[in-house]
Structure 1
């Protein structure tokens, strides 16, 4: 079987695994051994519903798991065998290579045949185990299953499964009294050779006429949030079935993907060179685009080296990637050896920079990422039962202060995962009335008031409206938090919805003058123009000044706002202010512009937001982008909006009660310590004045927008 993938003519020599200390190679070897013993669950993390669901997603795809997700209880648990029964009995086509045997009725159902190339032992495509045989036994007694050189027993009322290699001799098996023709699960097809190339590494997708994906063995076939297969390479040579194939090349948010249909002849070689079309050059304009929350290895069904991770970064045109080490539930800190070997030493390569940092995790109080620091934390996680630090102590603030003192920028990730209810007064309550350890950023309101937080992730794996609403509340309290993107991509998972998508599906741009160093990026994040986007580009200027500016003046003055948005995904542009109120908007298919004059009566903030619908190049349900805030002060005073301050006071009350009721502590002093951190934030949210502004429309000129 032909299988070749290259990073690029110059990129090949750049990276990277041979230059790392032995501990990193030893960790990868251990991960491979754990993967062989327990696919998806390297660190004995189970029982965990996410791993159960992702195990099924590898074959069925996340979109097909609706019945399984609907069957979950409030504890978010589901029995894996019960979930498998739901999938195989659903009124939906089976995935390729799946065979379902119902012993009671004597029926056999087949998915589409799994394509196997003539002359090869197995499929050249991603397929976990080849042919999957599922036996549903609703008989009152156990049944034996024999054939294909295998034998096993399925208990009464149970569902059993076995994965078989799609070898040429795969013939039949017998489940109880039912004979199963396994040859119908495999189709041998004549091969052809496909050679792919591009100027830079890109994200390729190769699909045959039957919809089956193909990739080089070294190409790490994965699936994005839309369940579309992909792999990264600059050049790749692979065998695929002769006939029609569809090839797509994409490269992240600044590019438009291109596709080509090719007819391949048996035994022949077809060469395709595809170049995604760049519609905006952020790097050339001095911007650095970053994804601050990426896991290389985090359990899963693939082991990812630094070389692999950098190739994915380059294939997405991502200037800065924050690779983080972190645990799941136990003491295993995935990629700790890699991160600690590179702290303070980012990897600079041909197409960008890879930074190394920390994800600190407490599922009750929240998770945050630390980018650009020079030190490891004393604790990598707290509050995970069965770990060395099972207590919800100390407060996250202690580790945030420790890492920030070491030069890191602190950003709370996945702050909320559900939309806010329309009732502003009760809005915080919904974060405290459902899953206890939901990984949401419950301590963010505390740590932001204590000056320990630089940013809040608005773009990750859920709709951004909820995180944006929380951000608006914090802005209204005068907190200068940058909006950021941390996709929480698990590069070691092949098919897990948004989590197996490429790094940079959402990204934050900061104006650095083209310097992709993480320290330069952190400085820009704290003070300069910032845009967070999964596709469209949006900008805002106030009296000619960029986002992030603090503009002071007298009450009653008028300021001029000009906003612009463009890109193939831009459909609606809005200028928003305190409380999320929309001051003005524009809609359409082309470049969008809004201009207005704003009378500033009290201190406030303004920003621009662009939205759109689904788009092939947007790796999310909808297009979305947002500028950072511009601050409009009055006589030296910044915004202190009472509804937002009251919102945060309510939040602190709820958090204190939540910690009292659900916190896990070794003794009363630990509880007192965490509650003391909550109390330390209360003075910041004292009452403040309202915001009032008046708006007048005016024309805008798009010609000088970057």
Structure 2
């Protein structure tokens, strides 16, 4: 997977500054922010996210919509306790005397700990270091506080401090920093300690730690607070950020969340001694953030059974469940009622993506909406990341009276709609958003849009379904949503949804399909589209420190298995930075070998990676005559609150003549008929030929190009054989252009691309970018400098051979031999091309 949003590649196409867009909570020094941010850190949701009991055992304080609320079980009114401007409150923990609550507050820059006096309403800040501080837990006697912080290290470590009326004192890291001897791909090299909870006697903290754990967040541990050297492992199990061990009030049972042997988190019980765990709850959804009532007779938890988050209380024993629903809300600020209606150019209601920012600087959504958050933002333009929801109009929501800014977007073929209104307290206001289309002329093709890389469920806050995925796609004006079923370490969350052909949830407007992403952190990830018979297992290879550590099967072997089912095989989210065979510490990506062997049908030039870096690799392959088309896929985790996305953020527009079916889509994809984009729409004709077509010979050709974009575009260029041969001047709002003329084109290929130097707040990606597939010129022509490109790939594969030969975890000698022989043949084929041998297309056909 992607090596982290913090690795924003330098612009490879111009001497431009790095994009101003930065990751959320950039001070955290861990890989793969899209996992720990969603699976561990609190997120803004319209529904509840975490709860704590007050001493009466009948009242809960819980977080919802960025505030803390108090509600008695059986009542339908929730009372808002906190409401910070431009900040959101999470993870309450009540003192045993019921007089105060500690909690975490996020303000767009950091997460700090605060304390609320429940009697006076006074708020007191407890931390101020600009770190990420989460999971505050008060000791039973109220004299100490345990929490998790990145203070001083950027890693999640367990902290303890004394607490009194003045605040915290004597704060210190309980266990200290420790670097693992293991090479961990998805986790930091440094151990973490998370999910603290006090024993009933206040002497011990239970937590989750990962010393020498290669996969998963680690085991359940116990540590005496006054003698941390005596920590002990309670239970060994691969957990995933939200185990949150919680001792029962009697101290004899330990409650935690686990997906052990399943695809979803449910509640399990073990003992402080680590007795064999048994499940307490069951279901094909997630139950998390569980807390015992003071008398141990009930458990409060948050689940996503109905899709969104919900707060429930379960009797133990017995299992009777009570829903805690805030039908009425007693808010701290006067409220206004907003109804949003959205219509297209025909006046018909249409779903869309909506962002609402009220005068208090906070984001709002309807009570039943799935709130999502962007994964980065420009701090010069915004105080925090953009939060949004998908609206099927009309949508009604409550928000504080005063000014509110509303933004509506629907895919790329409509101009964004914006309005700032003043809302009066106690009154209803209706807004009508009329979306204006901005489409390419019909001469450029009959396009359908497809996101080739979506994960419907991936362990996030919500529980997605094919029907809801279709709604998400429809709101983004996405015609085809391809759910790639894949593992998240032990689990394959969407395995039950896998099927061949169209999902029954598909509609006339949206086609939902299920494919597979094949995981290996060694060779690169593959997208497998239109598997005709079955899901490939195991779903991953080269997972170090597991029984599936062998680098075999290679991606080539997986591609052969997929092709045997009639599937298309693509390389997904390929490169965050341009590979450097001379300087990279390790270079194991198998792409060049698989391309020259004819095993790759497409590449995600646009995906969860750096588009400009990936395009440089793509251009070199095109120069060698490989007719490798671009696809596009967001890699959206579509059930996340902190969403990489939304679905359709990176999409390919396929010229199918308007047909919206899998056969037409895959045929157009493989033929290269179309373009990829995260915003700009591109049209290209060379002597009437469209992308994917071939012109007979070099010479003087007539071109026609078109641009339509929802955001301003800085650069629009014709590129031949990797070099700009025509740059178009964009004026006015730089969102549209129509141009034609004549140009001399040598043999090889030519395409149209649009790009910006830096980020744009309207595009939730590193920067706006779009590229057509090439129009080919001549039957079998290589670019003039193709020998240099072939030598570069030969050097690349020399490094890949070194990496593969250095692995000592092949299961058999034959696996090692097959792998190395395959890579040698590919390397030697590139060397032959570099020496002036047969062109690449002939080489691929011969192989």
Query: Structure 1 length normalisation: TM-score?
Result: 0.71
CA 152–504 in structure 1, closer or farther in 2 if over 3 Å, else same = farther
Q: CA shift at 1:150, angstroms?
A: 8.8
The DSSP-based 3-state class of the residue aligned with 1:120 is strand
1:470 to 607, 614, 617: 617
* 1:388 Cα offset (Å): 5.0
Unaligned stretches of 5+ residues in structure 1? 1-44, 54-60, 86-96, 98-111, 139-144, 161-172, 181-185, 421-426, 692-706
> What is the aligned residue count?
561
CA distance in 2, matches of 1:559, 1:371: 36
| Separation in 2, partners of 1:688, 1:346 | 50
Residue 316 to residue 113, structure 1, CA distance change in 2 (3 Å) = closer
- 3-state SS of paired residue (1:203): strand
SS in structure 2 at match of 1:200: coil
Alignment of 1:361-400 (within 5 A): 361-375=519-533, 376-385=535-544, 387-400=546-559
1:460 to 588, 607, 619: 607
Q: 1:621 & 1:76 partners in 2: Cα distance?
A: 16
Structure 2 equivalent of residue 488 of structure 1: 635
The answer to whether the 8 A contact 1:606-1:629 is kept is yes
Equivalent of residue 354 in structure 2, options 194, 204, 212: 204
Question: Corresponding residue for 1:585?
Answer: 727
Does residue 575 of the first structure (1) align with residue 735 of the second (2)? Answer: no
- 1:317-332 matched pairs, under 5 angstroms: 317-328=477-488, 330-332=489-491
Structure 2 counterpart of 1:611: 755
Residues 471/659 of structure 1: CA separation in 2 closer, same or farther (3 Å cut): same
Offset of 1:374 from its aligned partner?
Answer: 1.8
Decide whether the 8 Å contact of 1:206 with 1:245 is kept in 2: yes
> Partners in 1 of 2:776 and 2:147 — Cα distance?
67
Q: What does residue 303 of structure 2 align with? A: none
CA distance in 2, matches of 1:539, 1:281: 7
Helix, strand or coil at the partner of 2:28: helix
Query: Structure 2: how far apart are the matches of 1:480 and 1:688?
Result: 18
**Aligned counterparts of 1:596 and 1:283: Cα–Cα separation in 2:** 21
Q: CA deviation at 1:530?
A: 1.5
Q: Distance in 2 between matches of 1:151 and 1:479?
A: 68
Matched with 1:38 is: none
In the TM superposition, residue 623 of structure 1 has moved relative to its aligned partner by: 1.8
Larger RCO of the pair (alpha carbons < 8 Å, separation 6+):
1
Structure 2 vs 1, CA of residues 689 and 512 (structure 1 numbering), >3 Å: closer, same or farther? farther
- Is 1:415 paired with 2:574? yes
Q: Is the alpha carbon distance of 1:662 and 1:217 closer, same or farther for their aligned partners in structure 2, counting shifts above 3 Å?
A: farther
Partner Cα distance (2:623, 2:137) in 1: 67
Q: 2:803 aligns with which of 658, 666, 685?
A: 658
Provide the residue aligned with 1:292 in structure 2: 452
Deviation at 1:249, TM superposition (A): 1.1
Query: Paired residue for 1:223, among 335, 353, 373?
Result: 373
Q: Is this contact kept in 2: 1:244–1:261, CA < 8 A?
A: yes
**Cα deviation 1:145-196 (Å, max 9, x = unaligned):** 9979995734699889xxxxxxxxxxxx99235259xxxxx98112222222
Alpha-carbon distance between aligned partners in 2 of 1:514 and 1:157, rounded to the nearest angstrom? 53
Instruction: Select the residue among 677, 689, 695 that pairs with 1:533.
Output: 677
Question: Cα distance 1:344–1:323, how it changes in 2: closer, same or farther (>3 A)?
Answer: same
Superposed CA RMSD:
4.1
Give SS of 2:431's match: strand
Q: C-alpha separation between the residues in 2 aligned to 1:461 and 1:638?
A: 30
Give the drift of 1:678: 1.4
Quick check: 1:68 aligned with 2:228?
A: no
**Does the aligned pair in 1 maintain the 2:5–2:22 contact within 8 Å?**
no
Q: Note if contact 2:6-2:23 (Cα within 8 Å) is conserved in structure 1.
A: no
Q: Contact 1:252 / 1:617 at 8 angstroms: preserved in 2? A: no
Match of 1:649 in 2: 794
Shift of 1:630: 1.5
1:214 pairs with 2:360: no
Counterpart CA distance in 2 for 1:146 and 1:650 is 54
**Is 1:239 equivalent to 2:398 in the alignment?**
yes
Counterpart of 1:57?
none
Q: Is the 8 A contact 1:62 1:495 kept in 2?
A: no
2:509 maps to 1:351: yes
Contact 2:717–2:753, Cα closer than 8 Å, also in 1: yes
1:178 lines up with 2:166 in the alignment = yes
Q: Distance in 1 between matches of 2:452 and 2:141?
A: 47
CA contact (8 A) 1:531 1:538 kept: yes
Q: Give the C-alpha shift of residue 562 in structure 1.
A: 3.8
Seen in structure 2, the aligned counterparts of structure 1 residues 359 and 282 have a Cα distance that, compared at 3 Å, is: farther
Shift of 1:599: 5.0
Pick from 419, 422, 439: which aligns with 1:260?
Answer: 419
Note the 1:73-152 alignment, pairs <5 A.
Answer: 114=67, 120-121=78-79, 128-129=90-91, 131-132=103-104, 133=113, 151=142
TM-score, length basis structure 2: 0.60
- CA displacement at 1:67 relative to structure 2: 2.8
Contact 1:253 1:617 in 2 (8 A): no
Equivalent of 2:816 in 671, 678, 703: 671
Classify the secondary structure of the residue corresponding to 1:210.
coil
Q: Unaligned stretches of 5+ in structure 2?
A: 8-20, 42-48, 50-64, 72-76, 93-102, 105-112, 115-125, 130-135, 152-160, 169-329, 343-348, 378-384, 838-847
Deviations 1:428-471 (A, max 9, x none): 445x425x7xxxx8111111122221111111234311000000
| Contact 1:395/1:677, CA 8 A, preserved across alignment | no
CA contact (8 A) 2:530 2:567 kept: yes
Contact 1:344 1:374 in 2 (8 A): no
Q: How much does 1:527 deviate?
A: 1.7
Structure 2 CA distance for aligned equivalents of residues 551 and 411 of structure 1:
26
Q: Structure 1 residues 347, 479: CA separation in 2 closer, same or farther (over 3 Å shift)?
A: farther
> Cα offset for 1:475?
0.8
Q: Residue 515 of structure 1 aligns with which residue?
A: 659
For 1:607 and 1:577, the matched residues in 2 are separated by 7
Deviation sequence 1:479-537 (CA, Å, 0-9, x none): 111112111111222125xx2x2011121111001112122111011225211111122
Shift of 1:320: 0.9
CA distance in 2, matches of 1:195, 1:265: 13
Q: Greater shift after overlay, 234-243 or 615-624?
A: 615-624
Residue 667 of structure 1 deviates from its aligned partner by: 3.4
Which whole-Å deviations, capped at 9, do the CAs of 1:378-409 have from their partners, x for residues lacking one?
A: 33111223555222111111111211221222
CA distance in 2, matches of 1:150, 1:569: 59
1:617 Cα shift?
3.1
Match of 1:565 in 2: 707
1:570, distance to aligned residue in structure 2 (A): 2.9
Question: Is the alpha carbon distance of 1:673 and 1:277 closer, same or farther for their aligned partners in structure 2, counting shifts above 3 Å?
Answer: same
Contact 1:116 1:187 in 2 (8 A): no
Q: Distance in 2 between matches of 1:275 and 1:232?
A: 16
